[in-house]
Structures are given as C-alpha cells and as structure tokens.
Structure 1
Amino acid sequence: MIKMHSDFSSKESLQVTFTPDAIELLNRLKVQGSLVVHISDGCCDGTVPNCYLQDEFYSDSNDVVVYNEPPVKVLIPKATIDRFKNNLVIDVHDKNVAGFSLEVALDKRFYIRSE
C-alpha cells in the first residue's frame, strides 16, 4: 500500500492509504496522464472518490491536497476532512458502476473507508 501523511492546522494528520487493487487501477488509468482523486462533500457525489485527469479538473480554495505523489493527487474539501479519522483508505469495487469518474469505463469504482 502507498501511504502519505498530511498535516493540517485543524487536524493533527490524515494518512491516505491505497489498497493494492486501487494502486493497480490507478496504474491503468495513469497512462492517460496525471490524475486527481477528488472526494466531494456535495449532495450528488457524497463522499465517493471521483478520478479525473488533472488537466481536466478545476479545484477551488475549499479543497485541500491530502496526498500528492505524482502522478496522483487526492483532494478533499476542508469541511470534509474532519469526517475521517486519522486514516483514509481508498479501495475499488465493481458494484453499482456509474458516474463520471475515469474508472467507470473499466467497470470499476473507487470507494473510501475511514479506519
């Protein structure tokens, strides 16, 4: 698993971990370019991670980078960070595959859990 710690003034730290399945899927997707995984706090997306090409994703000042190991960045809105404990795990499943995220074309879907 890949792990990275990020420090925030409002939270001591958040460790982002990718499962082996998530790493494999990211490796398949990164051939298209650098990636952004965005965890939304919106009503439509909930907290489902959506993966986009970095060149096609526009963020605002509400998003915080919690993981940045090229070619992948993970962003979370400031207001959402406190929903997670100290460890955010990004995994993959193949259930209810729908949405605008890049992995949907491969019949996969990222999901998160907090540990």
Structure 2
Amino acid sequence: MMERVAVTPAAAELIRSLRGTHGPLMFHQSGGCCDGSSPMCYLEGEFRTGSSDVLLASLRVDGVDEPVTFWMSRSQFELWRHTHLTVDVVPGRGSGFSLEAPEGVRFLIRSRLLTPEELTALG
C-alpha cells in the first residue's frame, strides 16, 4: 500500500528512544516559523490539530506499540500534495519545540515527487 510518509532507520531509532522516554508521539509539519519546514515531534495530542490540518499518515515504527501520527497544515499540504515525504534525522540542534531538540539532533524532511501511479493510488 502506498504511503505519503516514511521514516529512515535513523529516524526510527530516534522515534523509539523518544517514545521510551516520553510516551506516544506525533509529528506536525507546518511550514511556518521557527525551523520552517522541519517536522516537529510532540507527545501525541500535545499539538492540537483541527480542520486546518491533514492527517497524512499513521506510521508504524518497529518497536513502538502505537502508530506515530504525521499531520500537516492544510495550506502546506496543498503545496506538497504531489510529494512523498521521508522523515530523517541529522546532527544539529533544531527547534526548542520539538522533543528531539535536547538530543543534539533534529528531524528533517526529505522529499521527492510522487509518480503518476502513486498519485492515482493515493487518490
């Protein structure tokens, strides 16, 4: 089944660690201020989503009991709807709002254009 969002092995490892420390997690991609287009990792439900947000994926990460939800602001999704997103992690301090900030690393998004077949499969 085609998914809009994936995670790298390094991101999965960090997600498992953060899950073990903090509990269930979620991501939100706003495209706004702070780290701009960096995905922000929060405790599940800590960032309030609503009608201005789109649930892109409920990611299954090995070693994590519950799915990790990945949200994006609707206005950002309208610009990025044709892309596949991969959550990765790199050295360096990101936003103070995201759970990984104290770890000396930050999540980032790598993207590629969806193929016509993938776009059709995603509807």
For Structure 1 versus Structure 2, the TM-score category normalised by the shorter chain is 0.7 to 0.9
In 2, the alpha carbon distance for the partners of 1:4 and 1:50 equals 23
Within 5 A, what are the aligned runs for 1:60-99? Answer: 60-69=50-59, 70-84=66-80, 85-99=82-96
Gaps of 5+ in 2: 60-65, 113-123
- Superposed CA deviations along residues 59-115 of structure 1, whole A, max 9, x for unmatched, are 121111101133310000111113333311110011244421001121110000211
In 1, the alpha carbon distance for the partners of 2:83 and 2:49 equals 23
1:37 aligns with 2:27: yes
Residue of structure 2 in register with 1:11 after alignment:
none
2:44 to 54, 75, 81: 54
In 1, the alpha carbon distance for the partners of 2:26 and 2:41 equals 6
Residue of structure 2 in register with 1:105 after alignment:
102
Based on CA coordinates, which of the two structures has the bigger radius of gyration? 2
Within 5 A, what are the aligned runs for 1:21-36? Answer: 21-31=10-20, 32-36=22-26
Structure (1 or 2) with the greater strand fraction: 1
In 1, the alpha carbon distance for the partners of 2:97 and 2:28 equals 12
Report the aligned-residue RMSD. Answer: 1.9
Contact 1:4/1:17, CA 8 A, preserved across alignment: no
1:80 is matched by which residue type in structure 2? Q
Name the TM-score, length of structure 2 as normaliser.
0.74
Gaps of 5+ in 1: 6-14
